[in-house]
Amino acid sequence: MSTPPAPPPPSAPLPQTSDSPLAAPPQPPSAVRPLAKGTLGRRLVVRVAALVAVVAIGLSAVVALGVYNIQIGQVDARLDRAIARQVGPSSGGPGPGGQEIGTIIAIESGGAVQGVILVDRASNFGPRFTSLSVDATDLLGTLSLNPGDRATIQLAGYGLYRLTAGADDTRTVIVGIPLAQVTSAMTSLVVFEALLTGAVIVVAVVAARSVVVRSLTPLNRLAGTATTVSNLPLESGEVAGIVRVSPRDTDPVSEVGRVGLAFNHMLDNVEGALAARHASEMKLRQFVADASHELRNPLAAIRGYAELTRRERADMSPAMAHAMSRIESESDRMSTLVEDLLLLARLDSGPALDLKSTDLTEIVLNATSDARVAGPDHRWSLSLPDEPVVALADRYRLHQVLANLLGNARTHTPPGTQVETAVAVDGRTAVITVTDNGPGVPSELQASVFERFTRAEVSRARKQGGSSTGLGLAIVAAVVAAHHGTASVDSRPGHTVFTIRIPVAP
C-alpha cells in the first residue's frame, strides 16, 4: 500500500516574498492605493497640509501686523511734526506752511470746525491748498479728538487718513496725513504673503505626499502579505509554502520592520504548528489504515473457522452453537467495519480514485438490482433519463455510495417501504436521489448523519438484519467529496431523500 508523502519538517527553508515562486504578488488585489480615501496616508497628508497652512497664515498675519504697526508709527511721528508746525511755540501759525502734500488741516474754534484745507501741491511760492467739502468739515466736527489723540478715518473721496489734534489757547487744530502709501504697501505685502503661503502649502503637500507614500509602502506590502496568508486554506492539512514578509520589510530598526519581523516569526510558529499537526494526522491515518489492513487477515481466519463449525453445530450444545453463530455474525460485522475504516483512511490520505468517464445510470441500475435481491420485502423503483449521464467518476467507489444509500433504505426502514432511486441532470450537475417513505432519519442525527460513527441505536438496524457501523454515510460523503460533489439529506417521517450531486463530464 502506498505511503503518504512525508510532511515538510518545520525547520525547512522558508520561502520569501522576494524570491519564491510562491511569493505574494507585489500588489495584491486587496492592496489599497497609499492615498486612497480613508487611508492613514491621506489623513497624514491632510493634517500636515492643514498644520503648514495654519502656521504660514499665522506667520503672515504676525508679519503684516508688525509692518503695519511700524508704518503707522512712522506716520504718527510725521503727524507729531505736522501738528507742531500748527500749534505750539515753534509753530508757524495756521496754514499750510511747511506741511507735506496731502496733509489736511482743520481748525476748530468755538466748538465748531471752521474749515478744512488740503495741501495739494507745492509751488515756488510755497504750498497751495484747496478747501475741502462740507462733508469733511462735518465729519471732522463730529470727531471729538482731544489734543494728543489719534484716529484713523475714511474721508469720502480722499481715502484713509490718520489724524491727530493739537491745541493752543484759542483753538484746536486737527492735522491728518493720508495713509494711501501705507495701504498700498500693506496690500502688496498681503498679496505677496498670500502667494507665498499658497506656495508653501503646495510644497508641503507635495513633500508630505512623497514622504508618506514612501513610508507607508512597506506597511502596504506587509498588509498584502497578511491578506495573502489570511486567504490560505490553512484548515486543509498541507501547509507548506506560506509566504513571508520580504527581507527588505523586516529591518528591526524601523517600526514596520519590527512588525514584519514579528509577523514572520508568527508565521514560522503557525507553519511549524500546522506541519506538526499535519504530520501527526498523517501518522494517525496511516496507523488506522495499517491497523485495518493488518486486521483483515486474522478476521478472515476467524470468519473461516466460524463458518467451518457450521456443519458441526447440530452436534454442539445449544449454548455452544449460539456462541459460534454469534462469533460468526460479529466477525462479519467487524470485517465490514474494518473494510469501511480502511476505505475512509485511504480516502483521507488523498482521494486515490480511478476517475474515468462513467455512465451513472448504469451504476444506479446495477446497485438497485443488487438492492432488490438483498431486500425482497421492500418495494424498489427506478427513474432514469433516456440519455446516459456521463461523469468523471470511479465506478467502483460510486457503486459503493449507491450500495450504502440503498442499504440504509433497506436496513433502517420496515419491510414494505417504498424506495425510489432517480438520476437527473441539473445544468452541469448530475443529481442522484434515493427516496424512501420509511420512518426517517431521527431528527437528533440529521445534522451529523454524514459524520463518522453517527448512527441510531443499534437495535433497529440489527433487527433488520444489517450490520450497523455508523460509517456508511461518512464513506458516502468522503467519496462524493473526492468527486467534487456534495451529499445531503432531507428527512421527515414518511419522506427521506438522500441527494448526491456531482459534476457531469465536460
Residue nearest to Mg ion (CB): 472
Per rule CB under 5 A, is residue 408 in the interface with Mg ion? yes
DSSP 313: G
Per rule CB under 5 A, is residue 368 in the interface with Mg ion? no
- Smallest gap from residue 330 Cβ to ligand ADP (A): 15
CB nearer ligand ADP, residue 264 or residue 454: 454
Per rule CB under 5 A, is residue 472 in the interface with Mg ion? yes
Packing angle of the helix pair 472-482, 318-348 (nearest 10 deg):
20
Pairing relationship of beta strands 112-123 and 126-131 according to DSSP bridges? antiparallel
Cell of 228: 495573502
Give the count of beta carbons closer than 10 Å to the beta carbon of residue 91. 17
Query: Which listed option, Mg ion, ligand ADP, none, makes contact with residue 430 (CB within 5 to 8 Å by class)?
Result: none
3-state secondary structure (DSSP) of residue 345: helix
Binding characters for Mg ion, 443-462, by CB under 5 A (x = yes): --------------------
Residue 164's beta-bridge partner residues? 150, 175
- Smallest gap from residue 251 Cβ to ligand ADP (A): 56
* Candidate segments 37-45, 69-77, 152-160, 470-478, binder of Mg ion by CB under 5 A: 470-478
DSSP assignment of 384-435: --SS--EEEE-HHHHHHHHHHHHHHHHHTS-TT-EEEEEEEEETTEEEEEEE
- Smallest gap from residue 431 Cβ to ligand ADP (A): 17
CB nearer ligand ADP, residue 228 or residue 469: 469
Give CA–CA dist 316/173, Å, rounded.
152
Where do contacts with ligand ADP occur on this chain (CB under 6 A)? 404, 408-409, 412-413, 436, 438, 440-442, 445, 449, 454-456, 461, 468-474, 496
CB nearer Mg ion, residue 229 or residue 405: 405
CB nearer Mg ion, residue 120 or residue 370: 370
- Smallest gap from residue 475 Cβ to Mg ion (A): 9
Question: What CA dihedral angle connects 5, 8, 9 and 13, to 10 degrees?
Answer: 150
- Smallest gap from residue 467 Cβ to Mg ion (A): 9
Please report the sign of the dihedral spanned by the C-alpha atoms of residue 140, residue 144, residue 145, residue 147: positive
Q: What Å distances lie between residue 227 and 220, 231, 379, 468, CA to CA?
A: 10, 6, 56, 46
Placement of cell 486515490 in the chain? 352
Query: Which listed option, Mg ion, ligand ADP, none, makes contact with residue 433 (CB within 5 to 8 Å by class)?
Result: none
Give all strands (DSSP E) within 270-361, no chain letters.
356-359
- Smallest gap from residue 334 Cβ to ligand ADP (A): 13
* Candidate segments 206-214, 228-236, 367-375, 406-414, binder of Mg ion by CB under 5 A: 406-414
Cell of 460: 433497529
- Smallest gap from residue 478 Cβ to ligand ADP (A): 11
Q: Which amino acid is at 32?
A: V
Query: Which listed option, ligand ADP, Mg ion, none, makes contact with residue 485 (CB within 5 to 8 Å by class)?
Result: none
Maximum Cα–Cα distance for the chain, whole Å?
166
CB nearer ligand ADP, residue 209 or residue 455: 455
Query: Which listed option, Mg ion, ligand ADP, none, makes contact with residue 461 (CB within 5 to 8 Å by class)?
Result: ligand ADP
* Candidate segments 101-109, 181-189, 407-415, 439-447, binder of Mg ion by CB under 5 A: 407-415
Per rule CB under 5 A, is residue 358 in the interface with Mg ion? no
Q: How far is CA 104 from the centre of its chain?
A: 74
Q: How far is CA 494 from the centre of its chain?
A: 47
Residue nearest to ligand ADP (CB): 472
Query: Which listed option, ligand ADP, Mg ion, none, makes contact with residue 449 (CB within 5 to 8 Å by class)?
Result: ligand ADP
CB nearer Mg ion, residue 99 or residue 408: 408
Question: Quick check: 420 and 406 in contact, CB under 8 A?
Answer: no
Cell of 111: 466748538
CB nearer Mg ion, residue 257 or residue 470: 470
Per rule CB under 5 A, is residue 400 in the interface with Mg ion? no
Pairing relationship of beta strands 418-426 and 379-383 according to DSSP bridges? parallel
- Smallest gap from residue 264 Cβ to ligand ADP (A): 45
Instruction: Give the closest residue to 145 by CA, choosing from 100, 107, 179.
Output: 107
CB nearer Mg ion, residue 20 or residue 336: 336
Q: Site residues (CB under 5 A) for Mg ion? A: 408, 472
